[in-house]
Amino acid sequence: MKRDEELEGYMTPDETVDLLKRWLTEERLQAKAQKDPRAHAHFLVRYPSGKQGHMFAIVVPKGRDLVAVSSMTRVDEGQQKEMKDHMTDEDSDWSEWIHESRLHLIRTGVDWVIHMGHEGEKKPGPLQAFNVSLPIWFDGLTKHEFMN
């Protein structure tokens, strides 16, 4: 069965983008379009809206039948310094914390990446940032699933 036959009855990427825009408008969320040659659409959305909201990326990648909702959090310098101090004081506790954090992310059901600093060729440094991403395939895309 060809991919087009498999997707027959599902939304096209253009229909999906229109639907996402409608849902964001209904929820009074502003989507800032981003240039992305690898995507049918790529938006940045602050949720909840306002200063306290967190920035999310919403991407409909080309060649895929899904919407990816992702968020990146950067760790500030003060927290990184605190982590460096803990790394030198209690090396095994630091490794255990990183290991437990990874296990927790695995159990969440989201795709994730953590970015660790490095000092030369030494062991991994403090946590610098982490990304979490949730794919929603077109055949399961509902407003509830998208906004959740």
**pLDDT value at position 1?**
44
Tokens of 3: 């991919």
pLDDT of residue 95: 74
Mean local confidence (pLDDT), 110-121: 77
Distance CA 121, CA 103 (A): 25
Q: Is the pLDDT of residue 146 over 50?
A: yes
40, 62 Cβ separation under 8 angstroms:
yes
Q: Give all domains of the chain, ordered by start, each with its CATH number.
A: 3-76+110-117+129-147 (3.30.1460.10)
Per-residue confidence at 61, pLDDT binned at 50, 70, 90?
very high
127 or 68, which is more confident: 68
Reported confidence tier of residue 91, pLDDT bands at 50, 70, 90? low
